[in-house]
Amino acid sequence: MDEQGWAQIVTAATRAPSIHNTQPWRFVAGPDRLDVHLDTERALPVLDPTGRQQIISCGSAVEFAVVALAAAGHVADVELLPDAADPDHLATVRITDGYQPSEEERALAAAIDRRHTVRAAFQPRALAGDLVDRLQREAAGFGTWFKPITRSEEEIATVFLISRAEEMEQSDPAYLAELQSWMRTDPGAVDGVPVEAVPSEDPHSRPSNWLIRDFVVGQREAPASPFLPGADADAPPPEVERPTVVLMGTEDDDRYSWLLAGRALGRVLLRATAAGVAASPLTQALDWPATRTRMQSRLSLVGHPQMLLRMGYAPDTAPGDAGPAVSGRRPVADVLRYEPA
């Protein structure tokens, strides 16, 4: 494949989600291979000191590349951690034979550009059971378990741990400084989290048990609540979202496992997007070793939790509404180097 062809594949790969949209990846391409490296200059030393979440992000980028290659008619062989002397060389994707892609493979690749994180409250409707089963099978293909949080005691424990972790983060000045450094007010920003993509209401005021990360801690006015004195007592209560919340994890907890979890996450998100389902992470409880360990214990997990996802149907877009803001991406020229044979 030539440089232009790889640029198209890497464009697709960089549409993968990454923690705080740090895009912690570098790519080196040759005629028959794509090497994926961790970009350590884009680290999150407070939130992600081990690099676990950024390596998961890179695993998702690997899977987006594989999906894009399949749709272009290329068989891709993936080797994770191919160089024992360089642990930041995360994967090598080699292309072998060409073939005619299926309609399903094309549909999955078409979902790459449509996928984005939806932090707004979902519609009050649940995912179909057969779709959840399909997503579970997709994750299993990468040695990653996929556990819907359905029992009330599991939901109570998980909600508590998320809330506790969010409280811990909001009281940590170093965390708040790091978070603020990745917030973006420029509509043309190529990385970070755009302010427009963050719900304006306080996450604690949402009609939902599930607390999303508060990206603008202390920077918003206190919202009017329908439950405060002076509100319309006859107004109907707000609809409560009914997300499907799933926990994804692996048997081990090392770089190889994180990459597998990232590939599984990428495949799950694309399969969900193709089915009209949106998602957003609920990773606060996994940011902190203490709450992550407690989640293992409280949910009697066999293995290590790697990703907590809130999934559902995005709110309807009003006519003329441009829709939710989509996080920018760095130019391909900034992340890809081509080395001809």
Q: Where are the domains of the chain?
A: 3-115+328-338, 138-312
Mean pLDDT per 10-residue interval, the chain, length 341 residues: 96 97 98 97 96 98 98 97 98 92 97 93 90 97 97 93 92 95 93 85 66 69 45 53 92 98 98 96 94 95 96 76 72 96 76
The amino acid present at 108, given as its one-letter code, is L
Is the Cβ–Cβ distance between 312 and 277 less than 8 Å? Answer: yes
3-state helix, strand, coil in the chain (%, to 5): 40, 20, 45
Is the Cβ–Cβ distance between 248 and 144 less than 8 Å? Answer: yes
User: How far is the CA of 168 from the CAs of 194, 215, 294, in angstroms?
Assistant: 23, 14, 15
Q: Domain 138-312 belongs to what topology?
A: NADH Oxidase (3.40.109)
In this chain, the answer to whether the domains covering 3-115+328-338 and 138-312 adopt an identical fold is: yes
Complete DSSP assignment for 131-188: HHHHHHHHHHTTT-EEEE--SHHHHHHHHHHHHHHHHHHHT-HHHHHHHHHTEE--TT
Gap between the Cα atoms of 267 and 273, Å rounded? 10
What is residue 338's three-state secondary structure? strand
103-130 in b/e form (b: 16+ CB < 10 A) is eebeebbebbeebbbbbbbbeeeebeee
Gap between the Cα atoms of 264 and 244, Å rounded? 17
- For 310, phi then psi, to 5°, come to -105, 125
Strand partners, 33: 30, 94
Position 226 scores a pLDDT of 42
Task: Tell me which CATH code domain 3-115+328-338 carries.
Answer: 3.40.109.10
Please tell me the pTM assigned to this model: 0.91
Position 206 scores a pLDDT of 64
Residues in Cβ contact with 215 at an 8 Å cutoff, skipping those fewer than 6 apart: 179, 183, 193, 195, 198
HSE-CB for 284 with a 13 A CA cutoff? 23
> Among the residues of 46-128, which ranges form H helices?
52-71, 103-114
Q: Report residue 225 as tokens.
A: 């609540």
Is the Cβ–Cβ distance between 183 and 195 less than 8 Å? Answer: yes
Q: How far is CA 22 from its chain centroid?
A: 12
205-242 in b/e form (b: 16+ CB < 10 A) is ebebbbbbbbbbbeeeeeeeeeeeeeeeeeeeeeeebe
Position 324 scores a pLDDT of 58
Pairing of strands 336-338, 25-30: parallel
Number of H helices, E strands in the chain: 10, 11
Position 224 scores a pLDDT of 44
